[in-house]
């Protein structure tokens, strides 16, 4: 993934798999991102992507059980932000299938989470192991002089 250059700043956050922590995670990451001169639109995109990844960890990874740990980490390099969202939940049996737009294992859901992460971030990488957990890494590139 791009952005594996020298880290200029980083932060990490760990919390229980509770729905009220989704807002906490996206605001924390957006606040971190706003340390450099990103546009409001870019911050909105980051918020949606983080919200989707963290919601997935809670709903799917831990099946709505509140005792799981979700970890969100962000690194800033000259090139952009690398955001990682990890759970130690059930894992995804077929990642390529899960990432297809409109694919969902829940009939009440639209299957759009990965599609939004893909649309709003510059790179998306998902690794998962059954009964071990899932890691979503997203890269948001800086435009122009930002981050230098």
Partner 1 sequence: MQVFFSMEGKELWVRVKGEVDLESADALRRELEASLDHAHPEVLMLDLEGVTFMDSSGLGVILGRYRRLKKQGGRVVICRPQPQVRRLLEISGLSKIMTIHPHGPETAGGVD
Ligand X SMILES: Nc1ncnc2c1ncn2[C@@H]1O[C@H](COP(=O)(O)OP(=O)(O)OP(=O)(O)O)[C@@H](O)[C@H]1O
142 backbone dihedrals φ, ψ, rounded to 5°: -80, 140
User: How far from 86 is each of 14, 19, 35, 105, CA to CA, in Å?
Assistant: 10, 15, 23, 19
How far apart CA 114 and CA 62 sit, in angstroms, is: 17
Residue nearest to ligand X (CB): 113
Residue nearest to Mg ion (CB): 113
Cβ at position 145, least distance to partner 1 in Å: 25
Cβ at position 22, least distance to partner 1 in Å: 5
- The site string for ligand X over 69-108 (x = CB under 6 A, - otherwise) reads ------------------x-xxxx-----x----xxxx--
Residue 125, classed as helix, strand or coil, is strand
Helix axis angle for 40-56 and 113-120, nearest 10°, is 150
Cβ at position 29, least distance to ligand X in Å: 17
Q: Both tokens of residue 84?
A: 């990682």
Cβ at position 124, least distance to ligand X in Å: 11
How far apart CA 107 and CA 129 sit, in angstroms, is: 23
The residue among 36 and 112 lying less far from partner 1, judged by its C-beta, is 112
Is residue 73 a contact residue for partner 1 (CB under 8 A)? Answer: no
Is residue 15 a contact residue for ligand X (CB under 6 A)? Answer: no
Reply yes or no on whether 56 is catalytic: yes
How far apart CA 59 and CA 39 sit, in angstroms, is: 30
In the set 61, 113, 133, 147, which binds partner 1 (CB under 8 A)? Answer: 113
41 backbone dihedrals φ, ψ, rounded to 5°: -65, -40
Active site residues: 52, 56, 109
Binding site for ligand X (CB under 6 A): 52, 56-57, 60-61, 87, 89-92, 98, 103-106, 109-114, 134
């Amino acid at each position: 993934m791009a952005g594996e250059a020298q880290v200029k700043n980083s932060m990490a956050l760990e919390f229980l798999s509770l729905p009220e922590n989704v807002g906490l995670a996206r605001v924390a990451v957006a606040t971190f991102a706003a340390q450099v001169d990103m546009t409001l639109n870019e911050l909105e995109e980051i918020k949606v992507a983080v919200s989707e990844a963290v919601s997935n960890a809670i709903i799917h990874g831990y099946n709505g059980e509140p005792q799981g740990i979700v970890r969100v980490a962000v690194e800033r390099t000259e090139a952009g932000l690398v955001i990682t969202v990890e759970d130690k939940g059930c894992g995804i049996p077929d990642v390529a299938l899960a990432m297809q737009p409109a694919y969902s294992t829940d009939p009440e859901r639209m299957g759009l989470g990965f599609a939004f992460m893909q649309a709003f971030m510059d790179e998306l990488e998902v690794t998962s192991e059954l009964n071990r957990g899932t890691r979503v890494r997203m890269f948001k590139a800086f435009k122009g002089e930002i981050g230098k």
